[in-house]
Amino acid sequence: MTAVDAPPGLGLGGRPTGEFAARPGPRRLAQAAFRVVALAAVLTVLLARRTHDAVSLVLAVTCVAMASVGLAVRRARVAVDADGVRWGWSWAGVRMDRRRLQRADVFGDGVALVSRRGSWFLAARDWDRFDALVRALGRAGLPVQELGTRAPFGSRLQSYGVVLDALMILAMIGAMVVLVIAAT
């Protein structure tokens, strides 16, 4: 039996100073949308098999794919540690290493993680306990710059929350329309 101790700074991610999930409301919406769309897709498949309607099958699968992406994104987490910030799941994710991170610009409505090339924007309306996320950045020793204003429009465009919620609602509506079409 052997044990390997990796020093900080290797990008492996240390103990997080904070781990954050999507807000409960959008998470529940994504879960409900996935269940509704999956049920509608199963019913559509059963109805479309009778009539050999391939278009309904493709549209039902498309709605399931949209709902699956929304559910996956809402289950992703943000983890902050001394080596940087990570977005993703336990088995896959994207990391902005401390070496790439120039600073974290804290706005009233989000945080822009600015690197040498581009930035990530974490909107306050997308993440639960947003104030704790900002504190976790400071506790991790990452360079934080408090600006106190609203984020620039270009940064806010990176926020996916409203669009993702609308996508979930459209997937449910689409799945119901396809089910009605398959039933008639």
| pTM: predicted TM-score of the whole model, two decimal places | 0.79
Residue 4 has pLDDT above 50, yes or no: no
Binned at pLDDT 50, 70 and 90, residue 10 comes out as very low
**Measured between alpha carbons, how far is 148 from 7 in angstroms, rounded to an integer?**
35
Phi, psi dihedrals of residue 17, rounded to the nearest 5°: -85, -10
What pLDDT, on the 0 to 100 scale, is given for residue 171? Answer: 96
- Contact between 87 and 78 (Cβ < 8 Å): yes
What pLDDT, on the 0 to 100 scale, is given for residue 16? Answer: 66
Binned at pLDDT 50, 70 and 90, residue 146 comes out as confident
CA proximity to 115, closest of 137, 76, 143: 143
Residue 58 has pLDDT above 50, yes or no: yes
Amino acid, single-letter form, for residue 180: V
Residue 5 has pLDDT above 50, yes or no: no
Cα-based angle 30, 31, 36 (whole degrees, multiple of 5): 95
Residue 129 has pLDDT above 50, yes or no: yes
Q: Which tens digit of pLDDT belongs to each residue from 66-121?
A: 999 999 999 999 898 888 888 888 888 888 888 888 888 888 888 888 888 877 88
